[in-house]
Amino acid sequence: MRVTLIRYTPDPELTIAAAARISASPSPVTEHLEKLTAQKADRLLAQLISAGHMSPLEHASFTFSIEGISRVTSHQLVRHRLASYTQQSQRFVSLKNLGFVTPPSIKGKPQLQAQYQQAIRSAFEQYLKLQEAGIPAEDARYLLPSALETHIVMTMNARELIAAAALRLCLKAQWEIIQLFENIKAETRKVAPRIGEELRPKCYKLGYCDEPQSCGLFPTLKDTPKPPKPH
């Protein structure tokens, strides 16, 4: 898996902070941009996020190149609809090299791993044979397994990044998409440390786990200690 931040809003956190300032100021946004420091912007972003005033965060966007994830995970990723995606097409790109993802649960069992890998190689060989027989790639691809690697470009604004990470960094999520968002978090922190820090499981915001069973980070709501009743 390779995740690279390839484009982003210049000075993303200053842009968000300046946009937020004009909601309660007669001064133009350019004036706020000149006066804001990174420290002031950081404090303002922390206040906005803590208060749930998230709309200013939509003014900063981040574009990632994501390579080497499985089609299983790309199908989960594109369910976050407040984003833009461009994915390598199996219709127009005839695959020549086999790259696929093996889950850790299979890697730990040598015999099963060998069978798994052989099944994928067999499907890929049949895919190539179909094309050699004149079947177009768009039809031959029906044989391809979901484990095959794909390349996708994703653009998300900061608000949606936080919302998506709240779900996908939950330890109840599937291992590969957790790994993907850990990489997205690391890339985001390089240019927007406050936003990057906010990419974390939803339980940190809630203060409890809203799943039926907790992973252990936070107790479920029913197991959360109740404050004492007033006398």
| Residue 215 C-beta-side C-alpha neighbours within 13 Å | 10
What are the backbone angles phi and psi of residue 214, rounded to the nearest 5°? -80, 150
CA 10 – CA 63 distance, rounded (Å): 12
CA 168 – CA 146 distance, rounded (Å): 19
Catalytic amino acids? 168
DSSP conformation class of 142 = G
CA distances from 2 to 18, 49, 179, 184 (A): 33, 29, 10, 10
